Amino acid sequence: MMFSLTEAGLYAMDLAAHARDAGLRTKETCFGALVEGEQGKVRRFIDGLRRRYPVYAKRRGFSIEDTEICARTFRLETCEGFPPWLPRYVGQMRRYTS
């Protein structure tokens, strides 16, 4: 997951284009881009990008295709007495173990 600052001249579409040129899978988001690929390729890509732009990158525990964790598409209804993250966690476990 990479956050980009438009003030620095790097837009999400540019970030995604650079990643695609490097042979990585990308998805543009409202805050930047998601990048997936082999660990070494991703690290080299991020290091090269950081030399030119002020980007913030962090690891994400879910795949690009996983829409359940997107704040826009994921609507969480909490049950009284349970932590708010529990229904989401249970849904993820069912999805990946069945």
Read off the pTM: 0.60
DSSP string, the chain: -EE--GGGT--HHHHHHHHHHTT-EEEE-SSEEEEES-HHHHHHHHHHHHHHS--EE---SS-TT--TT-TTT----PPTTS-TTHHHHHHHHHHHH-
Tokens of 73: 């598409």
Q: Are residues 15 and 58 in the same domain?
A: yes
Q: Are residues 16 and 38 in the same domain?
A: yes
Could you tell me the residue range of the domain that residue 14 belongs to? Answer: 1-62
Q: Are residues 20 and 36 in the same domain?
A: yes
Q: Are residues 21 and 34 in the same domain?
A: yes
Q: Structurally, how many domains does the chain consist of?
A: 2
Q: Decide: 31 and 57 in contact? Cβ < 8 Å.
A: no
Q: What is the pLDDT of residues 16-71, one digit of tens each?
A: 888 889 899 888 777 778 888 898 998 999 898 888 888 788 887 777 777 665 55
